[in-house]
Amino acid sequence: MTPDVQAFFDTVTNTVSYVVQDPAGRACAIIDSILDFDHASGRTGTKSADDIIAYIHDNDLSTEWILESHVHADHLSAAPYLQDHLGGKVGIGKNITVVQDRFGKVFNEGTEFQRDGSQFDALFEEGDRFHMGQLCGDVMHTPGHTPACMTYLIGDAAFVGDTLFMPDFGTARCDFPGGSSTHLYHSIQRILSLPDDTRIFVGHDYKAPGRTEFAWETTVREQKALNVHVGAGRGIAEFVEMRDARDATLSMPRLILPALQVNMRGGRMPPPDSQGDVFLKVPLNKLWLWRIGRIDRMERSWIPGPGAAAVWLRGAGAGGGIMGASGTIGVRWRSRWFSGRAPGGVSGGLSDMPVAIHQTNEARAWTKPIPGREANRGTMHDACEDAWPFG
Model pLDDT for residues 70-125, shown as the tens digit of each residue: 999 999 999 999 999 999 999 999 999 999 998 998 899 998 899 999 999 999 99
CA distance 28 to 120: 18
Question: Confidence band (pLDDT; 50, 70, 90) for 287?
Answer: low
* Alpha-carbon distances, residue 325 vs 7, 48, 354, 362, 389 (angstroms): 48, 48, 9, 19, 7
Looking at mean pLDDT, say which of 144-153, 295-304, 319-328 comes out highest. 144-153
Question: Confidence band (pLDDT; 50, 70, 90) for 305?
Answer: very low
SS3 293: strand
- What average pLDDT score do residues 45-62 get? 98
Tell whether the model's pLDDT for residue 334 goes beyond 60.
Answer: no
Tell whether the model's pLDDT for residue 284 goes beyond 50.
Answer: yes
> Mean pLDDT, the chain, as a whole number?
79
Question: Confidence band (pLDDT; 50, 70, 90) for 295?
Answer: very low
> pTM of the predicted model, to two decimals?
0.77
Domain with CATH 3.60.15.10 in the chain: 4-247
Q: Quick one: fold of 4-247?
A: Metallo-beta-lactamase; Chain A (3.60.15)
Q: What is the pLDDT of residue 14?
A: 97
Question: Confidence band (pLDDT; 50, 70, 90) for 28?
Answer: very high
Q: What one-character DSSP code corresponds to residue 176?
A: S
* Alpha-carbon distances, residue 298 vs 182, 287, 303, 314 (angstroms): 14, 28, 10, 12
CA distance 16 to 93: 19
Q: What is the pLDDT of residue 178?
A: 82
Q: Which residue has the higher pLDDT, 371 or 260?
A: 260
Q: What is the pLDDT of residue 325?
A: 32
Tell whether the model's pLDDT for residue 235 goes beyond 50.
Answer: yes
Tell whether the model's pLDDT for residue 331 goes beyond 50.
Answer: no
Looking at mean pLDDT, say which of 255-269, 294-308, 335-349 comes out highest. 255-269
CA distance 32 to 92: 10
Q: What is the pLDDT of residue 354?
A: 37
Tell whether the model's pLDDT for residue 377 goes beyond 50.
Answer: no
